[in-house]
Each structure stands twice: as structure tokens, then as C-alpha cells.
Amino acid sequence: MASKDKAAVGMRFIAAVIEEKVNPKALFFACGEGKVDYIAYLQKCLGSEFDVVFLGGNNNPVAKISHPLSEQAVVLRFVPVSKTASANGTSSEQALSVLQTSPRFQKPFFKTQAVETEFEKILLECSAFHAKGSLESFCKAQRSHLNEDEFTQMVTKQVRNLFFLAASIRRKGVWHTDIKPSNLLLDDNGNLVLSDTKGLLLYEGRFIKRNRIDASCAYYDTSILGAGNQTDLSRLLQLNIAVSIYEILSGELPEQDFKIAARDASLNFDFSGAVFSTSEGKRLKSCIKNLTDDKECDFGLWIKQLSRPAFQEATSSYKQSLLDIASHRQSNSLSSNGLN
């Protein structure tokens, strides 16, 4: 049996035991008592032969569960699903069903309802554990032992993968409102896999009411807001990606400048760090600026640009690339770039 198939069998075995022995409703209420009771309940249900480790999350704890005989692990978490979104056909579950054939999305071994409230259903989800961890933790680890040129080259590869991921979402008529490095996992081959699916939104339009999205405030500013408390989903996605690139490059989030009122805030990117002085760093800096300006960014063109060798500053090819991006922002060239 191939190692990949063997790993899948091991994880399915653990998932099957969890589904059989763990009561989702009881586990949900154990969360309210704190992480100690949450982990203790899981350990009691599964027995001492299983190893249960708390991975984080206060309001929504996440656990890693492994078994020594399988040499694999799964992740257990709760996923809220809005009843309103489900009724409108825009929920994360409905979006995930559209994306289920794509390898870029983590498919759970099972999802089962734990509790139901007036406004949402809470599902217990069991999915694969990826040993390489999130893009956030991976880049932090790489930064400590790579020089700046090597590090920015590695980041460029992951940014290109991030554009592929975002483009594949959009080609299916789906938005993601909470893309960030901690929500992106690396599989065994180093490819990005979207782990947190609650930000998925099956929606044909570009503007939607603010209370219909799930987003992290550190990854956007008030430029996403339109008339009538509407959110510009395209602008939100671009800012999510821009802040994510900046975060994995610099190791920190951009500051938010607050003006006039708390509702009026803008992102402040500091490009003075040495990481932005390398050939790749300059290119990624241009990418961030393109994503954060007032125009629509063409992901397909950036995939092409980041697939080429690094630009040399002030060369004609570098200047031409920026002109190409500016002139094609409103065009949809994803299909011409082989994005399926």
C-alpha cells in the first residue's frame, strides 16, 4: 500500500472511533467548562490508548487526536453554520459542496450536528492533521534559519500558491472572507490547503451586508465598506491576501491608522525592513501595493509574474510587468492561465 493511502487509512480509523464514541453535544458543553474539561472528556471517551492534545482556541477549542498504531492524527473542531445563510443558499457548507472536488480544500472525515440555536447550527468536524502546520508557523520557523534571499524566494512560491487558491475559489463562484496564514495549512508536498472553511460564501454578487461575513478585523480596513452597510467582497479578498503576504514576510501585522472615528481606519504597511530589499522582496512589495490600491487586481497575471525569475529593479521588463497589470485589472484572464 502506498504511504499516502496508508496514512489515509490510519486517519479514517481514528475518525471512525471518534464518531462512534464521542457524543458531539456533550463535547460542546464540555467546551464551556474550559479546555481541561474538554480534553478530559475526549480522553475519557476514547481511552488511554489515544493521545489527545489541545491545539488552541478559546471559544472554539481545537484538539489533535492520534493513535500510536496508525502513526497519523486528526483534528477535531466545531464549525458554526448560519441558518440564514443556509436558507439563502450561501452558507459555508453549501460553498464547500461546490468546491469538494478540489484538492485545495480540506475534506472532513465526518461532520455531525452537535447543537442547534436560534440562529445557527454547530457541527462537529473531524479532518486530517497536517504535520507541517499552518503557513503562519511554517514561515516563522523558516525565517529563523534562512537568509533573506532564501526566505523571500520561499515566500514567493507560497504567495503564488495563495493566488492559485484564491483564483480557484473565485472560478467556482465562491468567496472566502477570512483568508490568513493561520487558516492555511501545508500538506506533505508543501501545497496550501484551506483549513478553516467557515469564511466560505457561495454568492454571485460582489457586495453583501456586513453581518453576512466572517472576517478577522486585522486583515482589512474600512475601505471594504460601501453604502448601506455593504461589504465589498472583492476588496476584502484582496486585502486579506495583501496582509497575509506582509505578515509572512515581516513576521507582524500592519498597523491600523484610525482617523476621525473608529469606523475610519486604514492599513499602514512598513516596508523599511531588510526583507523588502531583496529582489523577491521588492516584487512582493509591488504585489502588496497592487492588491491594496483602489482597483481590482488580476490574480492570473500575478501568478504568471511570480512564476518567472525575480525582476531586477528598474529594468524594462519590471516596468512593463506593472503596466501589464494596470491595463488588465478589469479583465478576467484566469482561464487563459490554465486555472482549473
Residue-by-residue DSSP string for 168-200: HHHHTTEEES---GGGEEE-TTS-EEE---TTE
Which secondary structure element, helix H or strand E, spans residue 120, and what is its range?
strand 120-128
Domain boundary among 98, 128, 158: 128
Same domain, 146 and 293: yes
Phi and psi for 63 in degrees, rounded to 5?
A: -120, 140
* Residue 323 confidence (pLDDT): 55
72: left (phi over 0), alpha (psi -120 to 50) or beta: beta
| CB within 8 Å of 18: residues ≥ 6 apart | 46, 65, 74, 76, 126
**Average pLDDT of 221-246?**
91
Answer yes or no: is pLDDT of 111 > 70: yes
Type of residue at 25 = K
DSSP letter at 23 equals -
- What confidence category does residue 125 fall into, taking pLDDT thresholds of 50, 70 and 90? very high
Answer yes or no: is pLDDT of 129 > 80: yes
Phi and psi for 225 in degrees, rounded to 5?
A: -85, 135
Answer yes or no: is pLDDT of 212 > 50: yes
Domain boundary among 111, 128, 145: 128
- What confidence category does residue 248 fall into, taking pLDDT thresholds of 50, 70 and 90? very high
How far is it, in rounded angstroms, from Cα 122 to Cα 107?
A: 17
How far is it, in rounded angstroms, from Cα 111 to Cα 126?
A: 7
Same domain, 124 and 139: no
Same domain, 124 and 264: no
**Average pLDDT of 87-113?**
81
* Residue 325 confidence (pLDDT): 53
Task: Domain count for the chain, please give it.
Answer: 2
Answer yes or no: is pLDDT of 333 > 90: no
Same domain, 166 and 27: no
Q: Which three-class secondary structure state does DSSP give residue 288?
A: helix
Which secondary structure element, helix H or strand E, spans residue 321, and what is its range?
helix 316-327
Same domain, 124 and 142: no
For residues 185 and 95, which has the higher predicted lDDT (pLDDT)? Answer: 185
Average pLDDT over the chain, rounded to whole? 85
Q: What is the dihedral of CA 66, 67, 72, 76, to 10 degrees?
A: -30
* Residue 330 confidence (pLDDT): 47
The answer to whether the CB of 225 falls within 8 A of the CB of 239 is no
* Residue 214 confidence (pLDDT): 84
* Residue 228 confidence (pLDDT): 80
Question: How many CB atoms are closer than 10 A to CB 275?
Answer: 20
DSSP, residue by residue, 27-82: HHHHHTT-HHHHHHHHHHHH-TTSEEEEEE-SSS-EEEEEETTTTEEEEEEEEEEE
CA distances from 150 to 86, 137, 257, 275 (A): 45, 17, 32, 10
Same domain, 124 and 173: no
Same domain, 142 and 289: yes
- What confidence category does residue 170 fall into, taking pLDDT thresholds of 50, 70 and 90? very high
Same domain, 98 and 158: no
Same domain, 23 and 107: yes
**Average pLDDT of 242-255?**
95
Domain boundary among 128, 160, 192: 128
Question: 10-20 pLDDT, tens per residue?
Answer: 899 999 999 99
Domain of 140, CATH number, reads: 1.10.510.10
How far is it, in rounded angstroms, from Cα 257 to Cα 290?
A: 20
Same domain, 191 and 301: yes
C-alpha cell at 12: 479514517
How far is it, in rounded angstroms, from Cα 313 to Cα 279?
A: 7
Answer yes or no: is pLDDT of 240 > 80: yes
Answer yes or no: is pLDDT of 278 > 90: yes
Answer yes or no: is pLDDT of 263 > 70: no
DSSP letter at 267 equals E
Answer yes or no: is pLDDT of 155 > 80: yes
> Strand locations in 187-299, DSSP E?
192-194, 200-202, 207-209, 230-232, 255-259, 261-268
The answer to whether the CB of 159 falls within 8 A of the CB of 284 is yes
Nearest residue to 81 (alpha-carbon basis) of 98, 100, 95: 95
85 is in which domain, residue-wise?
Answer: 3-128
C-alpha cell at 206: 460582489
Q: Which three-class secondary structure state does DSSP give residue 329?
A: coil
C-alpha cell at 43: 480522553
How far is it, in rounded angstroms, from Cα 325 to Cα 311?
A: 15
Same domain, 241 and 120: no
Same domain, 148 and 47: no
